[in-house]
Amino acid sequence: MAARSTFPAGLMLDAHKQQACDSPIVEMPLPTHVVLALDQGAGYSAEPVVAVGDAVAAGTLVARADHPFASAVHAPLAGIVVAMETRAAAVQGGHSFCIVIEGDGSDRIDDSVRPVTDPASLGPEELVQRMRDAGIAGLGGAGFPTPTKLASARDLGAHTLVLNGAECEPWICCDDALMRAAADDVVLGALILRRAAGAVRCVIAIEDDKPAAIATVAAAIERLRDDGLTLAVVPAVYPQGAERQLITAVAGVEVPAGGLPADAGVICQNVATAAAVARWVTRGEPMLSRIVTVTGSGVARPCNVRAPIGTPLAALIAASGGYRGTPLRLLAGGSMTGRALPSDEIGLTKAMNCVLVATRDDIGSRLGAVEMPCIRCGDCANVCPAGLLPQQLLRAALADAHDTLRQFGVHDCIDCGLCDYVCPSQIPLADRFRHARRRLHEAEAMASKAAAARERHELHKRRLQEAATAEQRTFESVRSRARQPGDGSAGDED
């Protein structure tokens, strides 16, 4: 399958990736402790199955995924559960219930950690269930549970798996490093994901500014000789790695507004997720670690680090040479979509692909910016990859006009931040749209609750009316029998 030139709009940005990409992946030793957020980035928490004082081994399940949008969490090291409490976390809302494990220095591994001996013998349903048990989640930044996505794609009849190796956001290069170091794992994981999704073909998409990754993945595909597995090279345009934009560029189809990629016959997964699936099959590992880019002018040696999930960010930064200069911001993610963090004691999550230690040199142009009125230049609309009209959305957001927000597609905004980037008036458009979506969601939830309450009230009234009607009928029946001759009533003669 050949890639199209690209999706509409977008922008070419300074990459800021070279220094971290030029260094080999750092294999981080086990930290002294881990802080495991039970919300791993998708907005839903797993349910703890351990208590304070419990001993755990590496790979022990500590929180199960009872909700389809939650991800099971496993201990990445052997030790003792020393705390279970709400803490700051790199998730929506800024906090999550966390399990803190103090390592005991041993190499104990849970009995459940063993290779999948014959994955080809497992049907798609069993593959999906076992991935759910292993806590496999998307490693591209969203943290959405992979099994839920696979099951949905199979139910909707998706025929194509697009494996996302675009990695378009500035500063982030963990997927590039992974593809160069472990292309065979990426390809093996692609085959397993394709089988679990019920797809017939897979396209691995990589941006053209990653020649080394393109070469290693192409060689791995050639060694496999699977006609249903191909490579697509796409232009390095931000946000090429956004799911809907990549599907348009690679498959030539648009995901319908309000729909899922599977509605267009496609499912999208990240290359790092595929490699994690391969590690689960070949080593039996649930999702215990990930590669994360630690970068920015505020860190001494920008690099990519493979670290256990839950590793405090302070330990990641120490493994990258420690702080340098005067850091102003600690971001989870890149400069366009990253989330500011309050502390470096927050634990690494499955969704965190980058830790950006930013100085004034990195983000100074936006610091202290004074917001000015919109001048109607239209630059935001010209670069919007979702084809939206940010000016109209801004007016609707400021007026809290929910119907207008829906009409102009606020739910189709992908939070890429390009409208902010080009706005000469320094208007925080993306943030305004996020708040507008939240208010709209709250209003819709309230309306749904009100509608449900009205329905319950109407049902209650109907039941009362039916009961009263039945009671009246019974009364009329009894009175009618009482008036019949010969029944002994006072109105009858002897």
Comparing 480 with 226, which gets the higher pLDDT? 226
Domain boundaries of the chain, sorted by first residue: 18-30+135-294, 370-484
Read off the pLDDT band of 458 (50, 70, 90): very high
Q: Is the per-residue pLDDT at 296 higher than 80?
A: yes
Q: Is the per-residue pLDDT at 92 higher than 90?
A: no
| Residue carrying the six token digits 């998706």 | 158
Predicted pLDDT of residue 486 = 59
Q: What angle do CA 285, 287, 288 make, to 5 degrees?
A: 85
Distance CA 425, CA 420 (A): 9
Percent of the chain with pLDDT over 90: 77
Predicted pLDDT of residue 1 = 39
Contact 164, 246 (CB under 8 A): yes
Residue range 468-487: mean pLDDT, rounded: 80
Predicted pLDDT of residue 118 = 81
Give the Å distances, CA to CA, from 57 to 50, 52, 102, 110, 315: 12, 14, 11, 5, 21
Q: Using one digit for the tens of pLDDT, what is the confidence trace for 227-238?
A: 999 999 999 999
Percent of the chain with pLDDT over 70: 96
370-484 matches 18-30+135-294 in CATH topology: no
Residue range 15-20: mean pLDDT, rounded: 91
CATH architecture of 18-30+135-294: 3-Layer(aba) Sandwich (3.40)
Work out whether the CA dihedral 77, 82, 85, 86 comes out positive or negative. Answer: negative
Read off the pLDDT band of 308 (50, 70, 90): very high
Query: What pTM value is reported for the model?
Result: 0.88
Contact 165, 204 (CB under 8 A): yes
Half-sphere exposure of 471 (CA within 13 A, CB side): 6
Contact 77, 30 (CB under 8 A): yes
Strands 229-234 and 201-207: parallel
Predicted pLDDT of residue 365 = 64
Evaluate whether the domain defined by 370-484 bears CATH number 1.10.1060. yes
Contact 160, 251 (CB under 8 A): yes
Backbone angles phi, psi at 61, to 5 degrees: -70, 125
Read off the pLDDT band of 43 (50, 70, 90): confident
User: b/e for 31-61, b at 16 or more Cβ within 10 A?
Assistant: bebbbbbbbbbbbbbbebebeeebebbbbbb
Predicted pLDDT of residue 122 = 87
- Rounded to the nearest integer, the mean pLDDT of the chain is 91
Residue range 465-479: mean pLDDT, rounded: 87
Query: Between the ranges 90-94, 112-116, 461-465, where is the mean pLDDT highest?
Result: 461-465
Predicted pLDDT of residue 364 = 65
Residue range 339-350: mean pLDDT, rounded: 94
Q: Using one digit for the tens of pLDDT, what is the confidence trace for 147-191?
A: 999 999 999 999 999 999 999 999 999 999 999 999 999 999 999
